[in-house]
Amino acid sequence: MTDAVLVGHLMGCQIVTAAHTAHPRLSGPLVLLSPTVDADAGSAARQALRLLRCTLQEPVRGVLVVVTDYLRFGVRRYLRTSTSMLDDHVENRIGRCRTSVTLVRGEHDAVAPRRWLDELSARTPGSDVVEIAGAAHLVQWARPEDVGRVCRGVRGRPEDAAAGEEPDQHTHLGRLRDRPPGGRARRLPEAPGRPSPPSGHRAGSRPAQS
């Protein structure tokens, strides 16, 4: 395997960046969804509170899947994994990534706030920050089509991500006006002609695999 696009969500971002820095020739671009752990919330209690805040913004089916996984983990394994997550500082490693890095968050993601992604981007010259409107922490579940489009676009920037273009009724992808120091920032608004799904329902969608 060479030049593969590596995609991670939450703790998966720590794994993806570690894999790339250990074997840079085997991986291509990185897509990091809601990367952990925000340095301003580096305790289990703060992370739990932020995750709880996100729950009210998530599709119910997605929350049920996460809760079921946690129950399957068991308390002991969950605590061990959480400790490893908190002890790993992705901000100290991301600057060593020698490939393009795209940082993605949902608009309502309390676990990975915009400020945190901007800080990571500042450590990674040429990186992108993408914010998906209407989504929270489970961005790959709530907006799988848009996350998939971001992943497909990392090898060559798509036409609708042209420089300086703002989203309108015909453009589904545009830039944010406030660019992070490390690269550019873009925003995926709600799809034209598609109303925001009510909380707890996302008809016809399936989660993107990370």
21-25 long-range contacts, CB within 8 A, separation 24+: 21/93, 21/96, 21/97, 24/97, 24/98, 24/99
User: Model's pTM, two decimal places?
Assistant: 0.69
Domain count, the chain: 1
How far are the Cα atoms of 43, 45, 70 from residue 49, in angstroms, in the given order?
10, 6, 16
Structural domain of 54: 4-188
Of the candidates 7, 142, 132, which has an alpha carbon nearest to the alpha carbon of residue 63? 142
Q: Is residue 62 part of a domain?
A: yes
pLDDT digits (tens, 9 = 90+) for 10-56: 889 999 999 999 998 888 899 999 998 888 776 777 777 777 777 77
Write the single-letter amino acid at 57. Q
Q: Is residue 145 part of a domain?
A: yes
CATH number at residue 143: 3.40.50.1820
Low-confidence ranges of the chain (pLDDT < 70): 1-2, 42, 156-186, 188-210
